[in-house]
Amino acid sequence: MNSNRVSFADLPPSLAAERQGPIAILKLNRPHKRNAIDDDTVIGIDAFFSALPDDIRAVVIAGEGEHFCAGLDLSELQERNIHEGISHSALWHRTFEKIQFGKVPVIAVLHGAVVGGGLELASSAHIRVAERSTYYGLPEGSRGIYVGGGGSVRIPRLIGVARMMDMMLTGRTYSAEDGQTMGLSTYLTEEGQGLAKGIELAQRIATNTPMTNFAITHALPRIAEAAPATGFAMESLISSIAQADPEAKNRLTAFLEGRAGKVKRPD
């Protein structure tokens, strides 16, 4: 067993967690099911993010095997009535809310299938790294169902309503390159390099002050959706809170004294 593998929470066999310093890595661990998400997995993800240790500064989500996640385990849908369906959807909403608006920034590392609920999970992360094997799809329309894990809210904010509508109505799939162009991923890597890139980004994010990371992940999306006057007021408040943080003052002093690097042209 990996010496870094620890019990962040009571996780089901469908999930595996380990840490690298201030970074936690959570892997979907049902490769024989293409990492399809069942109820136990959703509950486990909820428990993981609810009990995240205070010294963890960033999380990477990835998938074991050939795929990130092929979506909802459809075998659980057959006997579910309307009331049970609403409760099930609410469970996914609560869980993915703990990713999007949780303690720390989250990076999703994608490869192979990122389909249905898998794309809903990925869209709840703050940064998405895709390997070139990645492909995206929303096949719910052909299966007589509809997204239920927050996809109607999050995915159109990445690619627009019209494109998501087309994906659901026609079953159209997109390649990793298409996804990068239209905004489903933020980084595109060669095959097998996604996890290393995700960990590299997480380590960089972990060096930010917790207050800054909180402001970026919690306040920024809400400011962006607010009316301009409300957004400006929220921005002023958050900016003032962030710059008053003692760690921020130390970092500003280091910059002014020439002890911190400046922004440079990319290589």
What residues act catalytically? 120, 140
Show Cβ contacts of residue 167 under 8 Å, excluding neighbours closer than 6 positions: 136, 137, 138, 173, 174
Distance CA 149, CA 236 (A): 33
Contact 114, 69 (CB under 8 A): yes
Q: Which residue reads 């809210």 in tokens?
A: 153
What is the strand order of the sheet 135-137 is part of? Answer: 113-115, 135-137, 173-175
Distance CA 136, CA 151 (A): 13
What radius of gyration, in Å, describes the C-alpha atoms of the chain?
A: 19
**Distances 207 to 24, 83, 118 between C-alpha atoms, Å:** 14, 45, 29
**Distances 68 to 37, 153, 241 between C-alpha atoms, Å:** 11, 21, 38
